[in-house]
Amino acid sequence: MAYFDNLKLEKGMYGNGTKSFTRILEELDPSENYKNTELEGLDAYQRQLKRFDIKVGGANSDCVNKFFQSSDSAALFPEYVSRAVRQGIERADTLSDIIAVKTEIDGLDYRSVVSVPTNDDKSLKPVAEGAYLPQTAIKTGEQLVKLQKRGRMLVASYEAIKFQKLDLFTVTLRQIGAYIAREQLKDAVNVIINGDGNSASADTVAADTTGTIAYSDLVKLWAELSPYELNRILAPTGAMTKLLSMSEMKDSNAGLDFHGSGRMITPLGAELIHVPAISGNKVVGLDKNCALEMVQSGGIITDHDKLIDRQLERASISCITGFAKIFPDSAKVLTY
């Protein structure tokens, strides 16, 4: 059994396509061995940071060059970059509010399942004794899910940043993560509106009056989405302004609740999500529980060779994701 203070770390630990660096560390140095010790609560990577006394945050955070004091500690640097970028993605995360399921794959080819039930399929009628049960068809999509690689190239020499504090450098990496999160949201909304290759674009619901959104239009959107639940409304900046300016959204009791708790009133109880990437006069209503699948190939991918051997220079940070509709008619587009 290996312990955290004598593990041999090397860049080859990043080359396993099915296992992350942290997972490999956990297999060599299981966290369960540290129960009821001062190291309980730390994962295998965090124990390695403690081993080399590398502080990545706080008032006493170390400089970047602390990672490169030995070949072993240098092997920790790509994982630090990945974790900081992941934190940025999580902080700017809106995707979890609109996807029904997230699927992790090891390759680049993936076919999702497609189900397009008719109105008759959505109603479970009584079945006579001995009669056949109604069928719901679920099939594999004819087209592969289109995966997009989103990321940034990190360009900086080791000499330029070696004396920079890690907590400051983390802020830059988190912002890269936020950029990736926004682009992923853009990809997801594009699939909802325009289809994923296996399903057509979302059905549209026309507002009663061109150029404006009335409360009655939202009620119409809610009715058209039935029997699915309208629990998410995605709107660009212009539409957000119109929605929040409705008299129904400025109810005095609602205002008191907002001032007291910070909870913003939402149309028909649906969560209102600001998506600047939506173009045109559109508002998207969907059932978050069954509308969209997110497919991700691996996690945050860092160019570990350049980060370790060349100490930055030019290193890529990327994430490969795609989106597929599950029940295509569980999302509608209100046009105004």
pLDDT digits (tens, 9 = 90+) for 95-112: 999 999 999 998 888 998
Beta bridge partners, 266, equal none
Q: Which residue has the tokens 């996690």?
A: 299
| pLDDT for position 24 | 93
CA distances from 179 to 61, 86, 153 (A): 25, 11, 12
Angle, helices 77-91/21-28, rounded to nearest 10 degrees: 120
Which residue in 173, 111, 180, 100 sits closest to 142, CA to CA? 111
**Helix 44-51 and helix 21-28, axial crossing angle in degrees, nearest 10:** 80
**Closest-CA residue to 176 (of 82, 104, 305):** 82
How far apart (Å, rounded) are the C-alpha atoms in residues 127 and 120? Answer: 14
Mean pLDDT of 203-229: 94
Which residue type, as a one-letter code, is found at position 229?
E
Q: How confident is the model at residue 75 (pLDDT cuts 50, 70, 90)?
A: very high
Neighbouring C-beta atoms of residue 265, cutoff 10 Å: 17
pTM value?
0.84
Q: What is residue 58's predicted lDDT score, i.e. its pLDDT? A: 85
User: Which is it for strands 113-114 and 139-140: parallel, antiparallel or unpaired?
Assistant: antiparallel
Q: What percent of the chain has pLDDT over 70?
A: 90
Q: What is the pLDDT of residue 256?
A: 56
| pLDDT for 263 | 60
Q: Are 125 and 133 in contact (CB under 8 A)?
A: no
Mean pLDDT computed over 194-200: 90
Tell me: pLDDT of 243 over 70.
yes
Token readout for 171 is 């802020």
Q: What pLDDT was estimated at residue 282?
A: 95
pLDDT at 156: 81
Q: Which residues contact 336 (CB under 8 A, 6 or more apart)?
A: 206, 207, 209, 210, 211, 212, 213, 217, 239, 242, 281, 282, 283
pLDDT over threshold 50, residue 12: yes
Containing 193, the helix (H) or strand (E) segment is helix 166-194
Least confident stretch, 161-165, 167-171, 186-190: 161-165
SS3 label, residue 294: strand
In 3-state terms, what secondary structure has residue 147? strand
Helices 77-91 and 166-194, packing angle to 10 deg:
50
pLDDT at 116 over 80: no
* Helix ranges restricted to H, 57-153: 71-74, 77-91
Residue 1 banded pLDDT, cuts 50, 70, 90? very low
User: Which of 247-251, 286-290, 296-300 has the weakest average pLDDT?
Assistant: 247-251
- Who's near 244: CB < 8 A, 6+ residues apart? none
Tokens 């993605």 — which residue?
A: 89
Residue 255 is encoded by which pair of tokens? Answer: 């205002």
Residues pairing with 285 in the sheet: 233, 332
Q: 10 Å Cβ neighbour count for 187?
A: 19
46, two tokens: 């965090």
How far apart CA 184 and CA 197 sit, in angstroms, is: 18
- Indicate whether 191 pLDDT > 50: yes
Fill in the amino acid letter for 300: I
Contact indicator for 88, 175 with CB cutoff of 8 Å = yes
Do strands 331-335 and 282-286 pair parallel, antiparallel, or not at all (unpaired)?
Answer: antiparallel
CA–CA separation, 116 and 229 (whole Å)? 17
DSSP bridge pairs for 115: none
